[in-house]
Chains A and B, each alone.
Chain A
Amino acid sequence: MNFVIPAFAPAIPEMALLALISFILVADTFWSKRYQFATYYATQISLVVVGYLILSSFATTQIITFDGSFVRDSFADILKLFTIAISMGIFLFSREYLVQHKFFSGEYFVLGLFGVLGMFVMISAHNMITMYLGLEIMSLAMIAMIALRRDCAHAVEAALKYFILGALATGMLLYGFSMIYGATGSITFPEMAEIIASGQADSVVLSFGVVFVVIGLAFKLGAVPFHMWVPDVYHGAPTAVTLYIGTAPKIAGFAMLYRLLAEGMPGLIEDWQSLIIMISILSMVIGSIVAIAQDNLKRLLAYSGIGHIGFLLLGVIAATPEGYSASMFYVIIYAITSVAGFGMIVTLSRTGKEFDLISDFKGLNVRNPWLAVMMLIILFSMAGIPPFVGFWAKIVVIEEVVKAGFTWLAVLAVIMAVISAFYYLKVVKAMYFDKPEDDSPLEPVSPSLTWAVSFTAILLVVLGLLPSSLIDLCYHSLKAL
């Protein structure tokens, strides 16, 4: 047996990130309380450094290394860059929140970075083992983050729920992996695809494998009927953590979906397409209808997120490069919009007062007209009303569904979009039409939060008016493969 040293270059961003995290982890314990923000700054700087490393070696062709377990392509690089950008936004919002709610600690940032590392590994996974590894790095970091406030019963309950249900889903996923490995004798995605296409593998075993893999995926994405954890976890976790788990992991989840279904088993489309159609429909329906009854904004956004996952899956149903690109565009837009949405809750909450009930938003237009406009933009973007970018996200996925011949599904999707508009309007109504319970002006605890949330919201407008470059980016990244 001869050992070949693999090419390390493609994985330099991941390795650099790991080195930086390890440094911060150690340094954080030594930085005295006086320099506690040093961890925060170090975190942001590390992300910038890793982003620079990715940009400077941007992949134009597909590079596979580590014996076929790791891939670097433009698809991965673009998703990683967005993951970095979104994580930086998350950390920016979180710092103020953690200080306000008196549990600022370096662990949040270190765990957050570990999560990012996990997402990177998922995005670049080229076989099932790497995928599993990335998923676990990310999930474990997230569980610890949810339970960061160990004195808060809600948070611990949420963490436990996420842990147990997550373990179950991971079990399913692994079970599916093992079946597919059993049938094909391979764990690397393209090899799997080849063997499946050649028809040598046992189709019954494969079908079972696909079902379990799809269940695992649906759970991780929070799609119906495996969505039960989403509202509870979003609600129970501290808002800074909700902001984290509700945004960046969705990008990694989409990458996982793409790598497994599109690269690993395109030959089994007949098996998974109908499953995804059902999951997509159920997610859109449950997400739109159940959200109506919510009076907590975090829960509302959780259900709205379930609905958004349903829309995202529409592009996957088409199962063409354009379809995946449309979903990719959707997930990026969804992540940005969610950062803005949860960021608004963070922006407005203060010591001892979470600003997460819809009734808290009553009369926001009187108390702080600027932030009311920003929230208006965020909500209408989520609802998919032009000229905000959420509209383009919806239109590209629906276009792909129509192209794939599922016009009825497109009609169903737009009806669900109308239903979901209702609960976004409910929040707008509270902000603009209702009398505030307390007339006093409402200023965020820190002006930097106003800047951050305004920047994100205005980004939604700018992307809405000029969406072309981002759409092109998504479409070219997958065409190049």
Chain B
Amino acid sequence: MLTSFPILSTLIWLPILGGLLVLFAGRNNDTAAKWLSLITVGLTFILSIPLWIGFDNSTASMQFVEHIAWIPMFNINYHLGVDGLSMPLVLLTTFTQVLVVASAWDVIKDRVEQYMGAFLIMGGIMVGVFVALDSILFYVFWEALLIPMFIVIGKWGGPRRVYATLKFFLYTFLGSVFMLVSFLYMYYQSGSFSILDFQGMHLGMTAQILIFLAFLAAFAVKIPMFPVHTWLPDAHVEAPTAGSVVLAAIMLKMGGYGFVRFSLPITPDASMTLDWLVIALSLIAIVYIGIVALAQNDMKKLVAYSSISHMGFVTLGMFLVYDIVQSTGSMQGAQLGMEGAMVQMISHGFISGAMFLAIGVLYDRMHTREISAYSGVVNKMPWFVLFAVIFSMANVGLPGTSGFVGEFMVILSAFKANLWYGTLAALTLVIGAAYTLWMVKRVFFGPVTNENVEKLQDLNKREFAIMATLAIAIIALGVFPSPLMEVMHTSVEQLLVQATTSKL
């Protein structure tokens, strides 16, 4: 029986223990460190597949549940479980971990065992964030993640890495402590730290609004939303490639996940009252940050801003719910927007990861991310450009790629809610195309004007495998998104019921 095996615990602790083992065993032996890491992440990914196979699409309740008393004095439990909202994110995490290890293979030369160990530990912690059903357990994972990330950015990052990593740490820490106070307040009210109990508990309007704002502070920083996004470009630019991938593909999703797991179900009335705030910030992110991306000279910064813009769709889709229900009177449109937001999260995980890996490939060869340093890369690296263009098209949201599905669903539901929302959101189709394709033109095409570009080598087998895997994932999800949507469907339905049922 699959359910009796503590699969979620394995997915958390296997990479963490593997990471510790790498730290010890890999000292002065880089080859051992790399292989050990690859085996760990490979095994973790394989072990996460039964989650998908054994998943029951017909229920919105938690599956693969594990429940052990942890601190009985405060009713804190080691309580794990997944539903349709978190399961895809867990798989995304384990999948990305494999790419992360593979991408660092020949690139990292300094203290390989610490680098790999930090990423493995991070992998386990990230799974923990998505599967924790006890708010304190969730918070422990949420915060613990900062430690390895702090070290990774600060140690293997670019020239301004120390500034970037301090900013990253303090921003996210400040955001999340307010969430902790809300948890404590709700524990005091309900006598339980269980997230499921929080979702069912009664809360007055003032309390809801304060809790909503506390959650917003925590999640908005992580996503990141305008105007607390400024840490992201710094952190992304200075982080090593794998760090950017983990940041963009997974850590940003934690914010979105937080909204669907905490904000909407726990504070539905406050979400309804303050939805204009989130919608406004999302639209600003989509339009304004998109324009900011246009002005970037640094490829990583450009993709970082594009990430913020795309994550705007996630928050937009989530908080459109109330307007849609109000204007159409049915849940159908709301379902579309919410599922669009969830698909967008997964899809953005693949696309942004792919974009950062592609930039990493160029950076490893040329050691610059300046757009102006490149021109005519296609002449020297045709295979690379093939994949890079696929990823860029997905970033633009071209039909047939995963980027299209989520954005299209959200834009469609935005039109249902309000014509202006729809129009503004649809602007991204223009702006996104502009900044992405302009970069493609300047970097990949045109004449070779630089002697360094002249010396470029095309992808090696390792890089080819990484790129091809991602390209397949992006196209598969774009052409055939229904398996993903089926997994989410029941959970999203339940979420919408929770989000629209008043708690007053």
Contact = CB atoms under 8 A, between A and B. Distances in A.
Interface string B131-172: 000001001110110110011001100000110011001100
Interface stretch (A21-29, A213-221, A253-261, A425-433): A425-433
B184 A402 contact: yes
Contact of B174 (A369, A415, A432, A475): A415
B497 interface: no
Contact of A411 (B73, B74, B146, B178): B178
Contact of B70 (A396, A468, A475): A468
Given A398-B184, A421-B173, A432 B154 contact: yes
A417 B175 CA distance: 12
A380 B147 CA distance: 8
A158 B155 CA distance: 39
Interface residues of B, number: 35
Given A385-B147, A398-B184, A468-B70, A418 B177 contact: yes
Contacts of B161: 433
Contacts of B162: 429, 433
Nearest to A407: B185
A422 interface: yes
A321 interface: no
B180 interface: yes
A123 B80 CA distance: 42
Contact of A433 (B72, B154, B173): B154
A218 B79 CA distance: 41
What is the predominant secondary structure among interface residues of chain A facing chain B?
helix
Contacts of A415: 174, 177
Given A402-B184, A468-B71, 4 more contacts: A385-B143, A385-B146, A398-B184, A402-B181
Contact of A414 (B27, B180, B187): B180
A402 B185 contact: yes
A414 B177 contact: yes
A429 B71 CA distance: 33
Interface in A379-407: 380, 385-387, 391, 395-396, 398-399, 402-403, 407
A391 B143 contact: yes
Interface in A85-122: none
Nearest to A416: B177
A87 B103 CA distance: 50
Given A403-B188, A421-B170, A433-B161, A472 B73 contact: yes
Given A468-B72, A475-B73, A425 B166 contact: yes
A421 B146 CA distance: 12
Contact of A386 (B143, B184, B187): B143
A429 B166 contact: yes
A410 B188 CA distance: 13
Interface string A452-481: 000000000000000110011001000000
A418 B154 contact: no
Contact of A418 (B151, B155, B170, B188): B170
B155 A432 contact: yes
A395 B184 contact: yes
Contacts of B173: 385, 418, 421
A186 B44 CA distance: 68
Shortest Cβ-Cβ A-B pairs, 7 listed: A414-B177, A386-B140, A468-B71, A433-B154, A402-B184, A418-B174, A399-B184
